[in-house]
Chains A and B, each alone.
Chain A
Amino acid sequence: MDNIARLKAKRAVQQALLACGFTIAFGTVLALATILPAFDPEQQAFLKYGLIVSTVVAFFSFPLAEGLVRNQDLALARLTPLSPALYYSHTLRRAIPSLFALVVLVPAVFLTCFSLSSHPRAFRGGPFALNLILTYYVSFLLSFHESLSSQTWSFLFFFPRKLLKLLLRMVLSSGWIMVLAGLAAAAACIWWEPWRFFVNGMDALLGLGIWGRIVYYLAIPFAGVFCLHEPSVPVSVQWGLTGLLAAAAVLMIRTVARQWALSPREWDKAVFEEWVGVREEFEDTESRIEEARESRKRFIFTNVYDDGFLPAEQQSSPPAAPQRRNMEYTPSLEPEETLVRHARFWFGHSKGLPAFWTAFTALGWVCLAVLHQDPRVSAPTHDTLEVLLVPAFIWLASVGFLARAGSVAWLPAMPLRWPSLIRADYLFRNPYVFVVDCLAATLITTAAFPHPAFFPVSLAVILVSRFNAYTHAWLVTARHAGHRLGYWIQLAVGGVAWTALMPVCIIFDGLDTSPLAERKLTIMLFVLAWKAGLLAVSAGCGLAEWLRSGSQVAGPAFATAEFPIVPTNTAEAAGENSAGS
């Protein structure tokens, strides 16, 4: 078995090279961060390009990590007694470089940014930097722990380009360089196989489609132009960009609608059809595989038995094609069923999500453009508001991603031991979600509470956010399992938790004496109230539904034919078809 020995040697060399690559990248960032302030501005400008490269490395290490961390081994869990411990040890060994990047490289980039205190666009230094890094670590470790312990989905949706913008504006002096970098990255993503794989992964994650993909990769360079040269970019260009994004949103919505105007019934029917398609995707995989396989075998079958045994007409007639899902549109479905259908379509489906995503993005651009044009808003105020608005839009868009969990309809169909692990795998399969969750939570809380004294509040927000994510994951599972009581209890608890956070925010925000304290408080309260209200309404619906169903705590409530957790009516089934020799 010489070839096995050669394979082992090859793998060892690959691991060593990978470790060297990340060490060099890390060393470069640290060295630049250390020596940069000592250079004169011209040299700094040159070194900044090195930092850009390092930042891009850090940024793209997340998607590259997808190839390392994305765990196809989980498929084996359905077939073998793969234990969680072995699963993670097997996975994490390959994920060490990416974890290294997450734990070390990202804070290093933060530190590098803060070291450029002379930059006019730099963050406020000192306490803000400390709090940012602290919060990042807390959120990272929390998410990491959650994923390892398989306890929760902790994903918040985040636009990576926003992060890129916030980081690059600290270190980049020319927006056109960013244009070129963005285009080069887009070209690389298209032409280089691993990145194309990543693009496909993102496509699956975001359900971008071609329009979304174009906007996504064009938005990166355009965002650089817009943010770095706001004063010099003509107003017409800014509004043109905003209009472009808005048009893209409209186009996506139109694609969804297929027509400009649909009657409510037609619209509902279209949603229903898409919904059925999604269910097919998740539920009928094995059925479709068999269909394809058997259509191939039809030829073999016919030839093997082509010996005159069957009449010619029977030979030539193909076997009946496997019956496709034949779900008729039924407008008389229960209101809740219709609501779930629409929610999944709009927030969780591949066509609904990018429409919302782009619409929110366009809305964000419009707000920022308006702010920028308002002479009453000073530059520092504009900066601060932007820092607040961006997370707010992220937060809004995150709803779509959270609701996407509802489309994971196959979850209960997995073996009982594994659902929690599947959730963890969801994070690992999408490192963007994993990382971005940490960064989004970090940005949100740090932007709201920049002083280290507010770190406990940041911690509380993150904890409540994770708790909410957990309850959401739980209720999705409980819902499919038919546990209505648990469903609405979890919703109610989530709403109470968010509501309870409000006075905490008010108390701590009262300590903030900055001129923007009131506005910040308003925004935070709006977001919190919105979250609490959403959960409260959902809980109310759940409670009403539970009462209407006659206080049935558990049982085959939600389409047991689709999610048959508990086998029922076995007695009837037993006698239906018995065959013997």
Chain B
Amino acid sequence: MTGMPNDSTFSPADAPPGNAMLIRAVGLKKNYGRTRALKGVSLDVPRGEVLCVIGPNGAGKTTLLYLLGGLLFPSEGHVHVFGLHRWKDNFEIRRRSAILPTIPVFGASPTPYEYLRFLAQIYGQPKEVFLERLRRLCDEMDYLPFLTKDWPQLSTGLQKKAGIIGCFLVNAELRILDEPFAGGIDPMGMEVLYGWMRQARSRGETVVFSTQVLEQAEAAADRIALLREGCLDALATPAEIIEKAGLSAAEPRALSKAFLKLVKDRRNG
């Protein structure tokens, strides 16, 4: 369990050397014009942890993941990943991390195979390693028959699977996935994805993902970050969140009920 930094004098020099905390975000704010999407979120994510970000619609989940992933600039606050400054050392961080946005980006490659091959080239993966890993991942995801089909011939779910395969194809110490379970992934694909997340954790990699289905969060995540209206309401293990809501972990769908109770309590002030 990692406590939250309340150190208001945090500076880049205080950034961790990169061993303990993989991600350190301090006072993250993000404004879209006058809309305040994030209102000062601080969190630490250690190595080898699977963190799930949940929250109601418009809570700022995607914004938070994009800020951690370097797809957005914070209006205020800062992020350090691997002990490096998110923006000053952006390229180095990218080299060591993989990101799957809400809608996967495949570039100009006309087929999943060419996309994945280009991705492997980007990350400097040797051809043999690429082919071996591609074969293994596609076998597990049952994706081999679709590798050489053009994108328009693939369903939304199959396109999403290509993005997920790409995210786990490359060597990375940090994997950020925005809504990986959404977008038409079938139950078998979800199970495979659970497995890949667990394998990544066992390799000491960190996975940060968001979801709206709390059973998935409970099944896959070590800790859960609950966002609401741009604020971090809770950052704890599923059991601690259930306990905080005054519920018993033995109840069916306890985490879902705890989540709804917490949101309702906050709404009522």
In the assembled complex, the CB of B235 is this many whole angstroms from the nearest CB of chain A, namely 5
Given A325-B33, A579-B232, is A289 in contact with B103 using a C-beta cutoff of 8 Å? yes
How many residue pairs link A and B with beta carbons under 8 A? The number is 227
Q: A511: which B residues are within 8 A, CB to CB?
A: none
In the assembled complex, the CB of B178 is this many whole angstroms from the nearest CB of chain A, namely 9
Given A73-B108, A297-B182, A561-B75, is A327 in contact with B33 using a C-beta cutoff of 8 Å? yes
A574 contacts partner chain B, Cβ-Cβ < 8 Å: yes
Structural contact, B28 and A573, CB atoms closer than 8 A: yes
A484 to B264 CA separation, bound complex (whole angstroms): 48
Task: Give per-residue flags for A420-448: 1 if the beta carbon is below 8 A from chain B beta carbons, else 0.
Answer: 00000000000000000000000000000
Structural contact, B94 and A80, CB atoms closer than 8 A: yes
Q: A576: which B residues are within 8 A, CB to CB?
A: 27, 29, 39-40
Structural contact, B31 and A290, CB atoms closer than 8 A: no
Residue from A76, A284, A297, A580 within 8 A of B3 (CB atoms): A580
A261 contacts partner chain B, Cβ-Cβ < 8 Å: no
Number of residues from A at the complex interface, CB < 8 A: 77
Structural contact, A7 and B111, CB atoms closer than 8 A: yes
A82 contacts partner chain B, Cβ-Cβ < 8 Å: yes
Interface residues of B in 115-166 (CB under 8 A from A): 118-119, 121-123, 131, 135, 144-145, 147-148
Q: A562: which B residues are within 8 A, CB to CB?
A: 33
B68 contacts partner chain A, Cβ-Cβ < 8 Å: no
A326 contacts partner chain B, Cβ-Cβ < 8 Å: yes
Structural contact, B6 and A4, CB atoms closer than 8 A: no
Q: A6: which B residues are within 8 A, CB to CB?
A: 148
A578 to B24 CA separation, bound complex (whole angstroms): 12
Given A294-B58, A576-B27, A576-B39, is A79 in contact with B121 using a C-beta cutoff of 8 Å? no
Structural contact, B102 and A7, CB atoms closer than 8 A: no
Structural contact, B62 and A326, CB atoms closer than 8 A: no
Number of residues from B at the complex interface, CB < 8 A: 87
Given A1-B144, A326-B35, is A581 in contact with B236 using a C-beta cutoff of 8 Å? yes
B200 contacts partner chain A, Cβ-Cβ < 8 Å: no
Residue from A73, A295, A565, A577 within 8 A of B73 (CB atoms): A565
A555 to B74 CA separation, bound complex (whole angstroms): 16
Task: Give per-residue flags for B217-255: 1 if the beta carbon is below 8 A from chain A beta carbons, else 0.
Answer: 000000000000001111111001000000000000100
Q: A283: which B residues are within 8 A, CB to CB?
A: 32-33
Structural contact, A415 and B90, CB atoms closer than 8 A: yes
Structural contact, A3 and B145, CB atoms closer than 8 A: yes
Given A79-B71, A80-B94, A297-B182, is A319 in contact with B58 using a C-beta cutoff of 8 Å? yes
- B183 (CB) vs chain A CBs: closest residue: A293
Interface residues of A in 46-100 (CB under 8 A from B): 70-76, 78-83, 86, 90, 94
A574 to B26 CA separation, bound complex (whole angstroms): 5
A80-B122, A287-B63, A304-B256 given. 16 additional CB < 8 A pairs?
A: A3-B144, A3-B147, A4-B113, A80-B119, A283-B33, A286-B63, A287-B32, A293-B182, A301-B212, A309-B256, A415-B94, A417-B91, A561-B33, A576-B40, A577-B42, A580-B3
B residues neighboring A (CB under 8 Å): 1, 3-10, 26-29, 31-35, 37, 39-43, 56-58, 62-63, 66, 69-78, 87-88, 90-91, 94-95, 98-99, 101-103, 105-109, 111, 113-114, 118-119, 121-123, 131, 135, 144-145, 147-148, 179, 182, 212-213, 231-237, 240, 253, 256-257, 260, 264
**Ordered nearest first, which 10 A-B pairs have the shortest CB separation?**
A573-B27, A576-B40, A581-B236, A73-B107, A294-B57, A574-B27, A579-B232, A81-B95, A577-B40, A580-B4
